């Protein structure tokens, strides 16, 4: 099997999941037909051959342009008996305010872009290298530090990346971090730092602030330390820490002016990048995530001092992980809500995230 065959198979599998629940999960044959018709990137020789094997004569019915998804879905509807494009994102769970399940589901059919956070004073160097290497990029119309490239673009082997001129970070993640106002504050705890993108963002924006970033996973902390060294940032300390446990080091959170909690969640706001979850996610798993989130919030609250800021973030579209947890904070944990927002990535081909700014009373 050659590299082109492997790429084709990978694209077919990805498309198979991107159609979500629009076709019954057990209808393998029909799901393949729907995927091959809807996604233009599969219109290779191999794609046509496979499609003809599955449904002889269908290739002649395909429109000349694959950009009209509505026309393609109508064709699938005429061929696949149980196809319903309104059910791509079909869950009985309540969604956050402002999320339409049909519109959000249809966004799964669009390939998400890869986003960069361009660090101050490096845009000219990056654009020069990208142009020399024929890397096509777009600059956000509202935020000049946010650039994007096509999925699959090789960024980690660029000189600009390895010199720390930019970070790979989703657009919505950048906008969420940008809402965390640390003006006049001295210290912050990033209690679920993950890859560390938000800590790095805030360290660049507020260079005088002390940041302690923690995560339970040693490999994550190890990779984050590599990013810190590459960025030459000295204001971030890392710890391997389980923020759900009342261990002694958590008591240090009382000394922090702010806590940023980008909590573990379903990740449903990122499923255009991980479409297998559209099919494999079990609604019963939501309770496990909300239980974990509340354990984190309880421990943060128990060690918080009056006036401490809490920036709560998820990459979820589910109400229970977003607004309901904010109600829990204000009604049970003694927080005041200052602001909240849903950062939709539908029109930008990016993730969807939830952000809330709270103060411990």
Q: Are 117 and 167 in contact (CB under 8 A)?
A: yes
For residue 248, the model assigns a pLDDT of 34
For residue 28, the model assigns a pLDDT of 92
For domain 179-360, the CATH architecture is 3-Layer(aba) Sandwich (3.40)
Between the alpha carbon of residue 82 and those of residues 33, 86, 106, the distances in Å are 12, 12, 17
Residue 68 has pLDDT above 90, yes or no: no
SS3 of residue 198 by DSSP: helix
Fold that domain 114-168 belongs to in CATH: Alpha-Beta Plaits (3.30.70)
Q: Where in the chain is the domain with CATH 3.40.50.150?
A: 179-360
pLDDT tens for 8-38 read 888 889 999 999 999 998 999 999 989 988 8
Residue 180 has pLDDT above 80, yes or no: yes
Q: Where in the chain is the domain with CATH 3.30.70.1170?
A: 114-168
- Per-chain mean pLDDT for the chain: 91
d(CA 271, CA 89): 10
For residue 327, the model assigns a pLDDT of 98
Highest mean predicted confidence (pLDDT) among 78-82, 94-98, 159-163: 159-163
Residue 250 has pLDDT above 50, yes or no: no
Q: Is the pTM of this model over 0.85?
A: yes
Identify the band that residue 247 occupies on the pLDDT scale cut at 50, 70 and 90. very low
Lowest mean pLDDT among 51-65, 191-205, 296-310: 51-65
Residue 56 has pLDDT above 90, yes or no: no
For residue 66, the model assigns a pLDDT of 65
Pairing mode, strands 187-190 and 258-262: parallel
pLDDT tens for 197-216 read 999 999 999 999 999 999 99
Contacts of 352 (CB under 8 A, 6+ apart): 99, 104, 172, 269, 270, 315, 317, 342, 343, 344, 345, 346
Which residues on neighbouring strands pair with residue 342, listed in sequence order?
354
């Amino acid at each position: 099997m050659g590299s082109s065959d492997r790429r084709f198979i990978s694209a077919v599998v990805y498309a198979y999941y991107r159609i979500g629940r629009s076709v019954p999960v057990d209808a393998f044959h029909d799901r393949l037909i729907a995927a091959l018709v809807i996604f233009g990137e599969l219109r290779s020789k191999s794609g046509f051959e496979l499609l003809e094997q599955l449904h002889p004569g269908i290739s002649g019915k395909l429109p000349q342009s694959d950009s009209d998804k509505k026309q393609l879905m109508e064709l699938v509807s005429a061929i696949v008996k149980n196809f319903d494009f309104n059910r791509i994102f079909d869950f009985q769970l309540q969604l956050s305010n402002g999320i339409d399940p049909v519109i959000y589901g249809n966004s799964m059919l669009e390939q998400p872009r890869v986003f960069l956070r361009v660090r101050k004073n490096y845009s000219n160097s990056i654009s020069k290298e990208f142009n020399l290497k024929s890397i096509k990029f777009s600059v956000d119309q509202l935020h000049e530090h946010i650039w994007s490239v096509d999925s699959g673009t090789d960024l980690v082997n660029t000189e600009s990346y390895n010199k720390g001129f930019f970070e790979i970070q989703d657009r919505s993640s950048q906008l969420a971090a940008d809402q965390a106002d640390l003006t006049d504050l001295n210290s912050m705890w990033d209690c679920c730092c993950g890859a560390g993108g938000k800590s790095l963002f805030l360290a660049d924006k507020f260079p005088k602030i002390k940041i302690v970033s923690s995560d339970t996973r040693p490999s994550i902390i190890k990779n984050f330390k590599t990013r810190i060294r590459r960025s030459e940032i000295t204001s971030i300390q890392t710890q391997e820490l389980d923020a759900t446990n009342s261990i002694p080091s958590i008591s240090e959170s009382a000394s922090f002016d702010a806590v940023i909690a980008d909590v573990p969640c379903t990740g449903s706001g990122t499923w255009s990048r991980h479409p297998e979850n559209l099919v494999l996610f079990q609604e019963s798993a939501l309770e496990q995530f909300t239980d974990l989130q509340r354990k984190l919030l309880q421990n943060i609250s128990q060690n918080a001092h009056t006036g401490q800021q809490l920036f709560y973030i998820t990459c979820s579209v589910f109400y229970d992980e977003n607004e309901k947890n904010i109600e829990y904070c204000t009604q049970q944990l003694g927080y005041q809500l200052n602001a909240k927002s849903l950062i939709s990535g539908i029109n930008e081909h990016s993730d969807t995230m939830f952000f809330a700014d709270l103060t411990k009373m």
